[in-house]
Amino acid sequence: MLTILAGLIGLSIVVIFHELGHFFAARSVGVEVEAFSIGWGPKLVGKKWGKTEWRISALPLGGFCKMKGEDDFKKALDLKLDTIPGSSDSFYGASPWKRIIILFSGPLMNVVFAIIMFSFVSLVGITIITAPNRIVLASEFNKTTEAHASSNPADLAGLQSGDIILALDGKTVRDYSDIQELIGFNPGKTMDIEILRDGKKIATTITPMLDKNSGQGLIGIYAWVDPVIEKIESGTSAEIAGLLPGDKVLSVNGQSVRNTIDIMKILESKPEVIELNVERSAQRITKKLVVVYSDANSLNLGIQFKSFVRHDKAAGVGDAFINGVSEFSKTFSLTIRGIGLLFSGVNVLKAISGPARLTYIIGNAATESIKQSGLAGIVPILNFLAFLSVGLFIMNLLPIPALDGGQILLSLSEMIKGKPISTKSIYRFQTIGMVMILALFLFATFSDVLFFIFRAGQG
């Protein structure tokens, strides 16, 4: 319930800012706003300030801004009027350019919200837990991948386990997080790559392949993480075995290990008991550990290996704002590119998220982040909401009837024609839009159902 509540609050914040954009724009061009509601459904409480009733409604998902004259469309249909009547202070009675300002201001507020959040995150600083920029070839670990090593981008590019990636596409790589971002956002693009191997720099090219389940680029690598224990979970087999933070795993069941991937490779055979040879304070000791598997055959040794922590923080307010604008521009570009990938053979059932999955993702990220970092965990949540706001900005400006973009298209058509569009034409346009939105909603909901079924199957 806490996860669901946190997710609903996160989604609502983004949607409410969108609706506030409509509200302020309507008031600025002289269109009366009859009601502004936080939430949908039956009104719980409400108070009228000026000409607007401010409400809190029963369903905590977003909100809405109800402008004067929105019911005039229905009246025109019922009375079979050729055009929609309305006073100058109503939505349909306002001139087309005023309606365009009102409609565009909702998505525009999402831009403002995203830049503010990105800037705030940059000013406060965000901690990224990742791994060094050293790699392990997936073909050395996963048997399925190994069978197709000839088509694995990392293998084709001549990369080797232990290589340190210094730069990708001309951009300096600081850690594994940078590698994931640059590779993930560029499927199919041939990129320059610079690596460090045995003290020598090597330059070559690599072309990430498209992962049809996620729409991201992959090259077939894992992060090289040194097998140094950073944390032991309480009550787990590792604690019972007497392992301690700082221990470095040298071998498992007599097989030497260089990194955590080597450990996972040994555990593929699912042994019930493993013998670890570890280095502690310059001494070598042996510990036996009972391995417990879940119903989904996944394991949890109770060991957290040493991670790489990066803290990004702006030098000041001006620098934070520049970073916020830059992050918005990058996210906008990547989102547009992502939409294009939907037409490139991506499994849309897995790539598209509906309201249920978004609520779960936001809520789960929020609860886990706060659980681990306390109030400091709010920062990555705000960063995620900024990403979501960029997506809402783009989605609402699509020229789909019933969305802001579709309504803007109608208003532009009216300006070009120089006269109001007929009620029947608007009705047909809106009907097409509702069918499209309903189909997209059902498709996204079906995708969400598959997502939760898969998660349940994973235990």
Among all residues, which ones are annotated catalytic? 19
User: How many alpha carbons fall within 13 Å on the CB side of residue 70?
Assistant: 12
CA distances from 380 to 2, 130, 164, 312 (A): 18, 14, 27, 12
Q: Do 395 and 332 meet the contact criterion of CB atoms below 8 Å apart?
A: no
For the chain, give the number of residues: 459
Q: Whose CA is closest to 227, among 290, 309, 305, 164?
A: 305
Which parts of 207-332 are beta strand (E)?
A: 209-211, 216-218, 221-223, 229-232, 248-252, 255-256, 273-280, 283-290, 303-305, 308-312
Assign 156 to helix, strand or coil: helix
- Give the Cα separation of 2 and 9 in Å (integer): 11
Task: Kindly provide the b/e burial profile for residues 130-169, where b requires at least 16 CB atoms within 10 angstroms of the residue's own CB.
Answer: bbbbbbbbbbbbbeebeeebeebbbbbbebebbbebbbbb
- How is residue 334 written in tokens? 């990547």
Residue 163, strand partner residues: none
- Give the Cα separation of 284 and 20 in Å (integer): 64
- How is residue 442 written in tokens? 């059902």
Burial class, 99, CB count within 10 angstroms (exposed 0-12 / middle 13-18 / buried 19+): buried
Q: Do 113 and 392 meet the contact criterion of CB atoms below 8 Å apart?
A: no
